[in-house]
Structure 1
């Protein structure tokens, strides 16, 4: 596995679950920071900076965002496996998501230091702000 460059993004994030078909505020998509809306037949999930988390859902606050510097080619393999394996070995749970250009993981704020140490120990270059 190649060495990844991973940035710890400043600020707190939240993950929120809404009932299927729930509309999210349009201005959420123009918020500063990573915002991800995923809709399935069983739920709508929103990942967003804590300050702009929409109300009305079941929210899990206290997440920190780690972003792999990209863009990453679609032909690359093992990126998420390397991150997830390193974090799992350190006992750190994660919430993973990907975009067209790169991969992201969220870890609980209380696990951030262990996550950074585990990723560095695995040979990745982790930048904190």
Structure 2
């Protein structure tokens, strides 16, 4: 009986959260063109020469930690013979287009929760002036359909 009460309470909480998220002003997203790759190199790897180029409107992110050196960039940039790297290809990218409001909270959960509820994996990247969400190519159409309930697209 106790488990049933907890389950009912959790279902009600999730329904309330969903209703609240859908009542907030829409998030403005832009679909970036092309496929993106997620790469992981050894943490002491140098920045590859092929990363040094004008990205234009494309997403490029470099992150170094004790766990490795991650590069997110257009798949078309990644050399075929990249030794010592793990490369996961075929991601699509969306950029949050509205100005950063440092007082705003819950942006990531507003984007992530509905997609997680539909078993869609994402990769979030936050930068000083922009946030990005990456979705596997095979899930992208479904993700757009879900996000369209509370996001506007430019």
Common fold, TM-score beyond 0.5? yes
Higher helix fraction (1 or 2):
2
> Which of 12, 37, 52 in structure 1 is aligned with 2:62?
37
TM-score (norm 1): 0.90
Q: More displaced, 67-76 or 20-29?
A: 20-29
Q: How does 1:84-99 map to 2 (within 5 A)?
A: 84-99=112-127
Q: Secondary structure at the match of 2:146?
A: helix
- Take 1:17 and 1:84, find their aligned partners in 2: how far apart are those partners? 23
Aligned position for 1:15: 38
Larger Rg: 2
Aligned position for 1:126: 153
Q: More displaced, 95-104 or 24-33?
A: 24-33
TM-score (norm 2): 0.76
Q: How does 1:1-129 map to 2 (within 5 A)?
A: 1-26=24-49, 28-32=51-55, 33-53=58-78, 55-56=82-83, 57-121=85-149, 123-127=150-154
How many residue pairs get matched? 126
Structure 2 segments unaligned to the other structure (5+ residues): 1-23
Distance 1:90 1:2, change over 3 A: same
Q: Secondary structure at the match of 2:33?
A: strand
Q: More displaced, 35-44 or 45-54?
A: 45-54
* CA RMSD across the alignment: 1.5
Higher strand fraction (1 or 2):
1
